[in-house]
């Protein structure tokens, strides 16, 4: 009896074992097919009970990685620059001198690669678009609030009068708003902030304290002597000595920065005669004081219009320097001047002489007379010859208005 039971159990176990083996084999095959089907499925958006999860192909992620890196590094660099500007403002409040920290060649090259000329042309066209009557007051009021514009000095205070941004930027002042000082020989040609002033030494001019630019690079090669209304004091020597026309005189300079909220027109700083115009197409980098402390020879990189001539003490020049969104520089008596034009290439310059057979002297300008205008804030640079006892009535960093004294003998 026991033997028969044992044989029965043995036959039962022999039947179960193959069944378990076959079941395990089937499960392995099913799992293998399931995994293969998952590999073939594209990565798409799927839902869970908690939230919606988005996925992307690995190739897209690999393409986004450089962009994310550039955004992260660019954002970090921009944040660092903003922190430096904050420090500079705090130092200015405390009356401390801000040490210059010059940009590297790669930083300047990177900045110049930005299409500022194209952007400035687009901005200029946008400024010409006529605004709806109902939109003018809120748009101009925002600009006035942002940049601290004093509309009480404007010849027309009604904001609805200005059809577009360009007309608002070029608004005229009331005649009594800027009295011209008659007691001093040189007045400020515009509203703005004094960045630097003093004597020109060693053919280098300071755009701000401690940061210089080349006088010859800024003004360009010397105008041929036969095209000048006055001969140089010396026929050789440094570029500076070639500009000085009288023995015992010195060369002086003054840099005035026009902020976006300032009066945008500029005037004649003295009684003088304009004999020549030289236009330098160039970059349109920002010329605010922070950038002037950061980029060496900033004014030499940017587009500018150099007016040269003479006054009662010899050589005199006024240069209007363009900036970002300020590609438009207008000289009222020069209809042939076209700035920020695609037909001009960077690194070149074009000359125009106002001395002709019909006009042997040039264009006479009276002190305070309207000379030109910017489309937005920018910079005016005066470089002139005067006797050694010429004195500036200025302080670096001070605010100045058109008509106030720059200096006199």
Q: How many CA atoms lie within 13 A of 4 on its CB side?
A: 1
From 184, 253, 264, 267, active-site residue:
267
Cα–Cα distance for residue pair 210/208, rounded to 1 Å? 6
Is 227 one of the annotated active-site residues of the chain?
A: no
Helix (H, G, I), strand (E, B) or coil at 209: coil
Segment holding 326, helix H or strand E:
none
Q: Which residues pair with 206 in a beta bridge?
A: 212
Helix (H, G, I), strand (E, B) or coil at 117: helix
Summarize the confidence of residues 128-154 as an average pLDDT: 90
Q: What DSSP assignment string belongs to 347-397?
A: T--EEEE---SS-SS-EEE-TT-EEEEESS--EEEEEEEEETT-EE---TT
The terminus-to-terminus CA distance of the chain in angstroms comes to 141
Burial class of residue 151 (count of CB atoms within 10 Å of its CB; 0-12, 13-18, 19+): middle
Average pLDDT, the chain: 78
Greater confidence (27 vs 132) lies with: 132
Helix (H, G, I), strand (E, B) or coil at 218: helix
pLDDT above 90 as % of the chain: 30
Model pTM greater than 0.85? Answer: no
Identify the pLDDT of residue 71: 61
From 268, 283, 286, 378, active-site residue:
378
Cα–Cα distance for residue pair 50/110, rounded to 1 Å? 46
Is 351 one of the annotated active-site residues of the chain?
A: no
Summarize the confidence of residues 127-145 as an average pLDDT: 90
From 191, 262, 310, 334, active-site residue:
191
List the Cα angle 295/296/297 in 5-degree steps. 115
pLDDT above 70 as % of the chain: 72
Identify the pLDDT of residue 13: 41
Greater confidence (291 vs 87) lies with: 291
Whether the CA torsion 84, 87, 91, 92 is positive or negative: it is positive
Q: Which of 137-146, 322-331, 343-352 has the highest mean pLDDT?
A: 137-146
CA proximity to 154, closest of 166, 142, 170, 171: 171
Domain segments of the chain as ranges: 186-224+237-408
Q: In this structure, are residues 386 and 250 in contact, taking their beta carbons and an 8 Å threshold?
A: yes
Identify the pLDDT of residue 35: 52
Cα–Cα distance for residue pair 262/243, rounded to 1 Å? 32
Cα–Cα distance for residue pair 343/325, rounded to 1 Å? 18
Cα–Cα distance for residue pair 199/206, rounded to 1 Å? 10
CA proximity to 287, closest of 321, 331, 261: 321
In degrees rounded to 5, what are phi and psi of residue 390?
-70, 135
User: Tens digit of pLDDT for each residue in 73-122?
Assistant: 656 756 766 776 677 677 667 766 666 678 778 888 888 888 878 887 88
Lowest mean pLDDT among 213-217, 292-296, 363-367: 292-296
CA proximity to 320, closest of 342, 297, 302, 293: 302
pLDDT at 311 over 90: yes
In degrees rounded to 5, what are phi and psi of residue 206?
-85, 120
Residue with tokens 């039971």: 5
Pairing of the two strands 363-365 and 272-280: antiparallel
Identify the pLDDT of residue 98: 64
């Amino acid at each position: 009896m026991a033997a028969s039971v044992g044989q029965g159990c043995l036959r039962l176990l022999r039947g179960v074992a193959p069944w378990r083996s076959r079941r395990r084999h089937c499960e392995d095959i099913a799992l293998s097919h399931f995994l293969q089907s998952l590999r073939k499925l594209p990565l798409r958006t799927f839902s869970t009970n908690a939230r919606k999860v988005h996925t992307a192909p690995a190739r897209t992620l690999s393409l986004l990685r450089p962009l994310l890196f550039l955004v992260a590094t660019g954002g970090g660099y921009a944040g660092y620059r903003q922190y430096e500007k904050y420090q500079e403002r705090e130092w200015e409040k405390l009356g401390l001198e801000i040490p210059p920290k010059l940009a590297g060649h790669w930083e300047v090259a990177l900045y110049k690669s930005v299409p500022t000329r194209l952007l400035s042309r687009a901005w200029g066209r946008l400024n010409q678009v006529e605004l709806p009557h109902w939109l003018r007051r809120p748009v101009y009021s925002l600009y006035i609030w942002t940049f601290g514009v004093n509309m009480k000095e404007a010849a027309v205070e009604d904001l609805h009068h200005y059809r577009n941004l360009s007309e608002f930027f070029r608004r005229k002042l009331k005649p009594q708003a800027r009295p011209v000082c008659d007691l001093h020989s040189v007045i400020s040609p515009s509203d703005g902030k004094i960045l630097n002033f003093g004597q020109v030494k060693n053919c280098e001019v300071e755009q701000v304290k401690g940061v210089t630019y080349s006088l010859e690079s800024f003004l360009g090669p010397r105008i041929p002597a036969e095209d000048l209304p006055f001969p140089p004091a010396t026929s050789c020597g440094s570029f500076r000595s070639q500009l000085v026309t009288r023995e015992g005189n010195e060369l002086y300079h003054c840099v005035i920065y026009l902020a976006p909220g300032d009066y945008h027109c500029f005037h004649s700083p003295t009684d003088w005669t304009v004999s020549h115009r030289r236009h330098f197409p160039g970059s349109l980098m920002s010329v605010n004081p922070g950038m002037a402390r950061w980029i060496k020879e900033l004014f030499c990189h940017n587009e500018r219009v150099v007016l040269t001539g003479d006054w009662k003490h010899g050589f005199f020049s006024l240069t209007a320097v363009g900036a970002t969104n300020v590609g438009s520089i207008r000289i009222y008596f020069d209809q042939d001047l076209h700035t920020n034009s695609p037909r001009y290439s960077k690194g070149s310059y074009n000359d125009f002489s106002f001395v002709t057979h019909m006009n042997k002297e040039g264009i006479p300008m009276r002190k305070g007379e309207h000379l030109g205008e910017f489309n937005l804030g920018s910079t005016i640079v005066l470089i002139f010859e005067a006797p050694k006892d010429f004195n500036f009535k200025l302080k670096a960093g001070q605010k100045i208005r058109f008509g106030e004294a720059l200096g006199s003998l």
